[in-house]
Amino acid sequence: MSTLEVNKIIPQGSGTALQIGESGDTITLPAGTTITLPNGSITNDELAGSIANGKLANSSITINGSAVALGGSVTIGETKPTISSILPTVIENTASDVVITGTNFVSVPTVDAISTTGAITPANSVTYTSATSITANFTLGTDGTYYLRVENSDGNAVRSSSALLTVSDAPAWTTGAGSLGTIAGNFSGTVATVAATGDTVTFSETTSVLTNAAQANCSLNTNTGVITTSDFGGSGTSATTYSFTLRATDAQGQTSDRNFTLTSSYAISNSGRFDQ
């Protein structure tokens, strides 16, 4: 194999070609020499296999600050945050904390609540706990369901695939707290009715007094709030005030408690007056 050293290139006019006779011959050019070839003068087929991978072993390019060897490979992608769950899933219209669990959170991201109507409400504040947990505080005045969107400071963002957050008013009692009346001991029938507004409200007792057979001995209709008894006060024989707490629960699982009382009365029997 021979080497052709070129110290000076003299233009020979359009169409003049410099040809090396044998396969494997090389041209050595002085440092800084530039050769400009006309478009189409070298085809892809002529270049195929002309540069061996071994000649690229010590060469590299830089991608996003990292060196990648030529002839090698690299996966180029963005690290986006994800949202897997929130707690709680239902809040009221007042300022409320929502813990968002996911991945790839960067301190400190921005968080938005996006209504199904398209309205966007930024969080009042965001607290970064870790790359997998942040807490956003929202005040959302309109009841409804909301998507959540988290955006890191580098612009990578994610929106929840479903409307994870529900905003709803808790049940509101329309029956005033306190006494529901005085009922004759051993009475049978409807004692009282309690009521509350909300989305499909149900009722329950959080204490064990009203529905306790050994105490008030009543039944509570969980759907209508009607309180009945077959023997008010049960085995009691003297006037007693029964204090208990009822809970109203709506379809979203929100609750509201209220304290009530019922009092039993007994007529005096076999009474008489003795003067002597």
pLDDT for 172-220, tens place per residue? 999 999 999 999 999 999 999 999 999 999 999 999 999 999 999 999 9
The count of structural domains within the chain is 2
Provide the 3-class DSSP secondary structure of residue 55. helix
Tell whether 271 is covered by a domain: no
Q: Could you tell me the two tokens for 205? A: 């007792």
Tell whether 46 is covered by a domain: no
Q: What distance in Å separates the CA atoms of residue 89 and residue 86, rounded to the nearest whole number?
A: 6
Mean of the per-residue pLDDT values of the chain: 84
pLDDT score of 24 more than 80 = no
Q: What distance in Å separates the CA atoms of residue 169 and residue 194, rounded to the nearest whole number?
A: 19
- CATH at residue 223: 2.60.40.60
DSSP string, 244-272: EEEEEE-TTS-EEEEEEEEEEE----S--
Report which of residues 186 and 59 the model is more confident about: 186
Q: Could you tell me the two tokens for 173? A: 């009692």
Sequence-ordered strand ranges (E) for 75-198: 82-87, 90-91, 96-103, 110-115, 120-122, 125-130, 133-138, 144-151, 157-159, 165-167, 172-173, 178-184, 189-193, 196-197
Residues 201 and 245 in one domain: yes
Residues 141 and 183 in one domain: no
Dmax over CA atoms of the chain, in Å, equals: 156
What pTM was computed for the model? 0.60
CA quadruple 197, 199, 202, 203: dihedral, nearest 10: -30
Q: What distance in Å separates the CA atoms of residue 152 and residue 93, rounded to the nearest whole number?
A: 27
Residues 163 and 178 in one domain: no
Residue 23 pLDDT: 56
Tell whether 119 is covered by a domain: yes
Tell whether 205 is covered by a domain: yes
Q: What percent of the chain has pLDDT over 90?
A: 67
Q: List phi, psi (to 5°) of 44.
A: -60, -40
Residues 197 and 241 in one domain: yes
Cβ–Cβ under 8 Å, residues 179 and 263 = yes
- CATH at residue 147: 2.60.40.10
**Among 103, 138, 167, which residue terminates a domain?**
167
Provide the 3-class DSSP secondary structure of residue 220. strand
Whole-angstrom CA distances from 193 to 38, 184, 256, 258 are 97, 17, 17, 14
Residues 6+ apart with CB under 8 A from 22: 1, 2
Residues 104-154: tens digit of each pLDDT: 999 999 999 999 999 999 999 999 999 999 999 999 999 999 999 999 999
Domain range for 188 is 172-265
Residue 267 pLDDT: 82
Provide the 3-class DSSP secondary structure of residue 210. coil
